[in-house]
Amino acid sequence: MILRTVAAMAFACTVYSACAEAKANWRPLFNGRDLSGWQQAGPGDFVVEDGMLKTVGGMGLLWYTPAKIGDATIRVVYKMSHPQDDSGVFIRIPSKPSEPWMPVHRGYEVEIGNWPDDYGCSGVLYSLTRALARPEKPAGEWNTMEVTLDGLHTMVVLNGVKVTDYREGDPVPPQAHDYEPKRGRRPLRGYIGLQNHGQDSVVFFREVSLSPLGK
């Protein structure tokens, strides 16, 4: 019994150490105080409220200015205020955005929105990939989304469940509307951003962090 207890304690310590090490690898991109390192493109705004980013108006994009990102996992913790709220995490943007439509057509939008269409719900690459699952929590509850960029591969895990597993060149539906992204491959490294969609959409982000892939 004592040996079993010691073994269990050793296992728990190993797991704790591994978790602590993994947590230490996350680097915050949003400091919880102000918009340092971020810049608004297009209408609307983001404000910092109670240590969180809050969308205001739009459609615009708050993008991370210091560097392009590739071969890393981006983690955002967000909640919607209402079931009809709309936002997104933009990835693989090829150049610095001065307006919100270039990232739509030349990057990817990882959708945030509880829409009935499986090509337009949270965790998909908007209008390009179909949701493998729909694990989003209701409005008012926090969701954790992890977007992994690994070379040609893009994977999205929402609340611990894989929603998107896409590789550049995989077949996608044809573009049906001009507001949907233009089809084509995206760069391996790019800028990232958060979307403020409109006056009726209020989405909060309490964490935006980055963890480089160990290669």
Task: Compute the distance between CA of residue 114 and CA of residue 112 in angstroms, rounded to an integer.
Answer: 7
How many contiguous H segments (helices) and E segments (strands) does the chain have? 2, 13
Q: What's CA 122's distance to the chain center, in Å?
A: 10
Task: Compute the distance between CA of residue 202 and CA of residue 215 in angstroms, rounded to an integer.
Answer: 37
Q: Please tell me the predicted confidence (pLDDT) of residue 214.
A: 83
Q: Which CATH architecture has domain 29-212?
A: Sandwich (2.60)
List the structure tokens of 145.
């989304």
Q: Please tell me the predicted confidence (pLDDT) of residue 7.
A: 42
Q: What is the pLDDT along the chain (215 residues), one digit of tens a residue?
A: 333 333 443 444 443 333 434 445 899 999 999 999 999 999 999 999 999 999 999 999 999 999 999 999 999 999 999 999 999 999 999 999 999 999 999 999 999 999 999 999 999 999 999 999 999 999 999 999 999 999 999 999 999 999 999 999 999 999 999 999 999 999 999 999 999 999 999 999 999 999 999 86
DSSP letters along 53-101, please?
A: EEEESEEEEEEE-S--B-SEEEEEEEEESSTT--EEEEEEE-S--SSSH
Question: How, if at all, do strands 191-197 and 87-93 pair?
Answer: antiparallel
Pick from 101, 127, 100, 126: nearest CA to 111: 126
**Rounded to 5 degrees, what are φ and ψ at 197?**
-90, -35
Task: Compute the distance between CA of residue 90 and CA of residue 80 in angstroms, rounded to an integer.
Answer: 17
Residues 6+ apart with CB under 8 A from 183: 128, 172, 174, 175
All structural domains of the chain with their residue ranges: 29-212
pTM (two decimals): 0.88
Q: Please tell me the predicted confidence (pLDDT) of residue 215.
A: 64
What's the pLDDT tens digit per position in 69-111? 999 999 999 999 999 999 999 999 999 999 999 999 999 999 9
Question: Strand, coil or helix: what is 210?
Answer: strand
Number of neighbouring beta carbons within 10 Å of residue 93: 26
Task: Compute the distance between CA of residue 192 and CA of residue 132 in angstroms, rounded to an integer.
Answer: 23
